[in-house]
Amino acid sequence: MTSPEPTASQPGSTRTGPGRVLIAIYALFALAASARAGVQIATKFGNAPVAYLLSAFAGVVYILATVTLAVGSPTARRIAVVSCSVELIGVLAVGTWSLADPATFPDATVWSGYGSGYGFVPLVLPVFGLLWLRRQRTLSVGPGAVPGAALGSVPADRDIR
Amino acid sequence: MSSVNGAVPTTIIVAGLALAGYALVMTARDRRMDVGLLAALGVLEILLLVQVGIVVARLAGGEHPAGLATLIGYLIAMPLVPVAAAFWGLLERSRWGSAVIVVAGLVAAVLMVRLHQIWPVIRV
């Protein structure tokens, strides 16, 4: 594996190449978190209101990240960066909170224990999301946007503002 | 019935992990989804549909888990996993299409474990 993405098309796009994998995993978590929160809030909201509301919030953040990564316009990317950042802060904050104060979380959220119930994917995903967004930003905006980015072939039709 | 009950989810776990491994090799070797990988997804799809049938038969028999809504959600989502992965593989004609199939294989295996957690009568 000498070249990172030899067959990838459209440099700078957030939805092709590795982005496709990210979007697939984000879509999965968007579905899982929001569906789970929907069922919990509808059937047993009183049991663990904080946990269920946090799950619902996580679901919304995942949906936002999925859609904005798939759309990939400059505005969508900005929203995606915010979504992934909120997600990272959320998983760290809720993870710590759930360990420090287990009484508030009689039922787990996606972000409980730093996402341990989901193989820590919720912790790793926003990191990859942010890295991917940054990398594609340097590819699409071209040299100058990020110091040290030396890229010659930037297609003129890519997302350049 | 009980032997079939345990055998199908176990087969799905093994098949899902094998598919993930195969697709991972394809990703590492910079291969996009081919007919072999598509056929493997087809086999996984058939296994998942059989599992859905087994669970629906049990529900029709009058048994219900505590989290019925969640179970029904799983029954709807389960067969969509290989289909979605196949579309992604066709859409992304690069190694990253194969990488999406790695995720699908792992998800199928995890879904079986979750299914057992939602309704312990579904053995793994």
CA B56, distance to chain mean position in Å, is 16
**pLDDT, tens only, B58-107:** 999 999 998 899 999 999 999 999 999 999 999 999 999 999 999 999 99
**Angstrom distance (rounded) from CA A75 to CA A42:** 34
Best mutation target, A21, A43, A121, to test chain B (most B CBs within 10 A): A21
The residue among A141, A157, A139 whose CA lies nearest residue A17 is A139
Euclidean distance between CA atoms A70 and A26, whole angstroms: 10
Domain range enclosing B37 = 2-118
Residue B111 scores a pLDDT above 70: yes
pLDDT tens digits, B4-56: 568 999 999 999 999 999 999 999 999 999 999 999 999 999 999 999 999 99
| C-alpha distances out from residue A32 to A25, A40, A142, B114, Å | 10, 12, 36, 12
Tell me which of A20, A39, A110 to substitute to probe the interface with B (most B C-beta atoms closer than 10 Å).
A20
Residue B66 located in a structural domain: yes
Contacts of B99 (CB under 8 A, 6+ apart): A18, A20, A21, B23, B24, B27
This complex has an ipTM of 0.89
User: Inter-chain contact A42–B69, Cβ cutoff 8 Å?
Assistant: yes
Query: Rounded to a whole number, what is the distance in Å from the CA of B50 to chain A's nearest CA?
Result: 22
* pLDDT digits 0-9 by tens, A85-133: 999 999 999 999 999 999 988 888 899 999 998 999 999 999 999 999 9
Instruction: State the smallest CA–CA distance between residue B7 and chain A in angstroms.
Output: 25
**Is residue B124 in a domain?**
no
Please count the other Cβ atoms lying within 10 Å of the Cβ belonging to residue B120.
Answer: 10
Q: How far apart are CA A80 and CA B118, in angstroms?
A: 33
Residue B123 maps to a domain: no
DSSP A34: H
How confident is the model over A29-80, as pLDDT tens digits?
999 999 989 998 998 899 889 989 999 999 999 999 999 999 999 999 999 9
How many domains does chain B contain in total?
1
Nearest-CA residue of chain A relative to B68? A39
Q: Which amino acid belongs to residue A116?
A: S
Query: With bands split at pLDDT 50, 70 and 90, how would you rate the model's confidence at A145?
Result: very low
Residue B80: inside a domain, yes or no?
A: yes
CB proximity A21 to B under 8 Å: yes
Of A6, A25, A31, the CB nearest to B103: A25
DSSP state of B107: H
- Tokens 């993930």 locate to B20
Report the pLDDT value the prediction gives residue A141, as an integer from 0 to 100: 63
Q: A27: which 2 tokens?
A: 């879509």
For the record, the structure tokens of A132 come out as: 């991917």
Which residues on A lie below 8 Å from B32 (Cβ)?
7
Q: Do B94 and A25 touch (CB under 8 A)?
A: no
Q: What pLDDT shows up at residue A161?
A: 45
Domain boundaries, chain A: 18-141
Nearest Cα neighbor of B105 from B33, B36, B39, B40 is B40
| Inter-chain residue contact A1 with B84, CB threshold 8 Å | no
* Residue A5 in tokens: 């993405």
Q: Does A17 touch chain B (CB under 8 A)?
A: yes
